[in-house]
Amino acid sequence: SLGRSSRKRALLIIAVVAPLSSILLCFICSVVWMRRRRKGKANLNNQAATNRPEEDALVWRLEEKSSEFTLFDFSEILHATHNFSKENLLGRGGFGPVYKGQLPDEMEIAVKRLASHSGQGFTEFKNEVELIAKLQHNNLVKLLGCCIQGEEKVLVYEYLPNKSLDFFIFDANRTTLVDWKKRREIIEGIAQGLLYLHKHSRLRIIHRDLKASNILLDQDMNPKISDFGLAKIFSSNDIEGSTKRVVGTYGYMAPEYASEGIYSIKSDVFSFGVLLLEILSGKRNSGFHQYGDFLNLLGYSWQLWEGGGWLELLEVSIVKEIHTTEARRYVNIALMCVQESADDRPTMSEVVAMLTSESVILPEPNHPAYFNLRVSKVHESTSVVVPCSNNDVTITEEPDGR
């Protein structure tokens, strides 16, 4: 009787303990799995004290959408880029250096590493991560994921083998590789990407830093707009916004933005117009270049337009490939986009219509912004008058005068 009682107690203990042990084991395994899943992707214990709450919140928001967006372990990034080797360096920007990498599945990636001294900082990093992850269009670069670990903040993009547009159109040895047919496709692709941002995406986006070096090219030379660190989100009811911190690249900034901090879809249209003139001419709008009496491409283009010499604006390699009336049409569109008054500029919907349909009648443009900036020699030195502003202005001047 005593033996049977002991066996019953033993069976009862086993019946109770075994399920509890199984549950405990499952719990431990789940915890270990979750920790491994987040290992390196968000090492929150090492976050900088100044940004820790924001970074913590950002990591959790990203993990919630991990099926669409990958949080990489920093060790994965190091391995993919060979410890950010010089051989893998693709270029440098205001944000930081960009490296080519390869994941274990042999997928090629472009890795943008936030420089610790970057003027953009965590706010712009977060802006790009949260913004571009929601955008899907053939003419926008695809953001695959990011890494936030300690002081390291990294963005991971699809790798585009043909670098950026400026690599081709401003180099005498490469400009002939981009004929008129391809330039026209690039122009239309950029316009379609901007139209999507302004009108057709789930959010209305003002890019604020559209320029040749931010147009990346895939293996077929299709354009993809990149670098959304300075982008702004608008509600459907907003027409324009303003800021006391003006950031952007010299030569591409609309006058109302540069001098008053006012930005809108029309400030992106201005940048597109500058870019269009650069694609047509193979010349930079600004920098250490001088066109006749003018300091920039806008004034030079306007002078040629008024004199009926718009063909002289075109890059030599495409002059024989483009019809005179088509050349006039594209220069006309570009000058309409860079008009001084934002109200006079077309929307991207109108620009796309003008680019894709010859039946659309184009109005004559007014003079462009900055067209009256001329070179004046004073004691053998060059004196330049530029707009002044009370805003906190951060201007990016790219290498080689970009």
Catalytic residues: 209
Q: How far apart are CA 83 and CA 111, in angstroms?
A: 12
DSSP 8-state symbol, 121: H
Contact present, 275 and 249 (Cβ < 8 Å)? no
User: ∠ at Cα 83 (78, 87), nearest 5°?
Assistant: 130
Tokens of 277: 């003139």
Tokens of 186: 């690039």
Contact present, 333 and 362 (Cβ < 8 Å)? yes
Q: Is the sign of the CA dihedral 166, 173, 187, 369 positive or negative?
A: positive
Q: How far apart are CA 27 and CA 255, in angstroms?
A: 60
Contact present, 245 and 287 (Cβ < 8 Å)? no
SS3 285: coil
Q: Which of 36, 34, 59, 57 is nearest to 149 (CA)?
A: 59
DSSP 8-state symbol, 129: H
Q: How far apart are CA 59 and CA 349, in angstroms?
A: 36
Tell me, rounded to whole angstroms, the distance of Cα 76 from its chain centroid. 24
Helices (H), 147-296: 166-169, 180-195, 255-260, 265-281
